[in-house]
Structure 1
């Protein structure tokens, strides 16, 4: 198929380490679409909370920090950015301290309310421009963009996801321990799936895609086929 642009919203959900960020960015870039990493938004708020010295168990104080420090997201897939008060924090939000606290911060109902509102605003703005938007997170298909034209729930074994996380940390120059990373992946899964507000789960109308034995190219091939099947290529009829 010749190059085509995305129209509408593609929602990619799933636990950490399934390859969401990599394939979401590459899919958006290939289809001339905007890209939004909602997980980075929660990490940025978590960083703001830690910087403020607020206990992550104090939900009222956490919510107050979130309300006064919303992150600014860049939606260019080849160079996505996240900033707090004009400071680029894209590297810092991936550190161990933020990773250990983000589940608790993202479970605060008011934090999720504020960020979902902001995520929907960003999606609306993206759709006002030519091209669509690829959005990744944990509640995109179930909460943020329930009317998305395509919802995909990415899965992979916890071992595979831990290896990927470790590889990413090493590539970024961060210290990594595979056993500790695996434990963190399992802890995050339990926390995200068990939280009262917007728990991690697959939307009823989502397509499940297991990436355990797939490389990036293989995942992208399947995603392109799904976009085609749903008729989300602008000006191009489905070939299936």
Structure 2
């Protein structure tokens, strides 16, 4: 509703909004908020649920279980409209692990020429590795995609020589930190126990890799790869290049 009104709040303190034209929002969860034509999304005053609204002509009384009251005195109504919005599907963030996993699976050659997808969600005893791939020489590559490291604790480092590895575990993050290296190391330590997979090398792939993470990864024989998210999505880069 858009109306000329004044608003008085009585509770832990008192507040008064003099007569002016404002936007009144009443949501299906019972909340009532009073907005002006500035302050962006933040209301001038509001009552959060659980609360109830009593209408007495042009007088609205909003009260909650603590006895706090929001009294809205309406002088003139300019617009009154009701619309049910329905169920909210929720915010879908761009670039989360599931989307990155799909993009990398679709463009698996980002890891190198000749790479092919074996499967996504490759199972291990401590959780699925997001992607299993195979390179041009027939070596398998395991890919794990996370936003943040979830497996903590240092474990034994990989053998220094991974150049002869037949399989590769690749973990993908938006920003790789030391936790990401520790997580990948834990997966590699487990995968290397499987005689059908060992030896398994590691690749840390991310949009950004912290210097400390890069140093630790290279010390453990883990290869680091920087990913271009827009390039994976097929969006041309606006960055100026010489070639």
Q: TM-score under structure 2 normalisation?
A: 0.21
Q: Which has the higher contact order (CA 8 A, sep 6+)?
A: 1
Q: TM-score under structure 1 normalisation?
A: 0.22
Which structure carries more helix by proportion?
A: 1
Which structure's CA Rg is the greater one? 2
